[in-house]
Amino acid sequence: MFKFLRQNKTLAFYISLFWQFFSISAFTLGGGYVMVAVMQQNFVEKKKYLGLEKFTELLASAQLLPGPIALTSSIFLGNEIAGGMGAIIGILGTTLPPFFAIYLVYMFISILDAKIVDLFMIGVKAATIAAITQFLLKIFKNKKYDFIGYLILLIFTLIGLFFQLSPILILLIGGFSFFILNFIKIKYF
């Protein structure tokens, strides 16, 4: 067949993988990070395609790329699970549902009652916060930091909450802080 296909994967596997990405994208409300949390549940906990540590590494790599986190995560996850074809399947499975949803909303926008949509979105916002919090707690429990690492995490969380700084600036300073502290720890301790 194609070199692009992994030799131990069947057509049924690729269809199943596409359906998993498609259904996560189609039925998850709340944005990319909620989709990533559902991907973690599906691919790590349910299907056991990869471990939480590898998932976290792929998520970190996906955040380096520009674009929506759900899409970049799908590319990395698909590639890890099923090679290049898996990456393409991840892209298609993640992008097709929003395309169809936008088209349908455009077709029926005049029919929707604004009050019903507003009430629905209030519930979606609450569920989004809960899903993201659950996902972050799972990753946080898996990572092992020392006291200084936890202190830096707390400081930058508080800076992000109480000051109007750019998230990019906070990320750069936080990453640089961990780099400097680890360099000092390795060199002098």
pTM: 0.60
Place of tokens 């002098």: 188
Neighbour tally for 186: CB within 10 Å: 8
Q: What is the pLDDT of residues 29-73, one digit of tens each?
A: 777 888 888 999 999 999 999 999 899 889 888 888 888 888 999
What is the reported pLDDT for 29? Answer: 77
Average pLDDT over residues 14-34: 89
Lookup: tokens for 22: 């498609």
The residue among 63, 49, 83, 47 whose CA lies nearest residue 167 is: 63
Q: What is the pLDDT of residues 85-98, one digit of tens each?
A: 999 999 999 999 98
pLDDT at 2 over 50: no
d(CA 120, CA 99): 21
Q: Which of 73-87, 105-119, 122-136, 153-167 is predicted least confidently?
A: 105-119
d(CA 35, CA 154): 26
What is the reported pLDDT for 4? Answer: 44
Place of tokens 């909450």: 161
How does DSSP classify residue 29? Answer: -
**What φ, ψ does residue 13 adopt, rounded to 5°?**
-65, -45
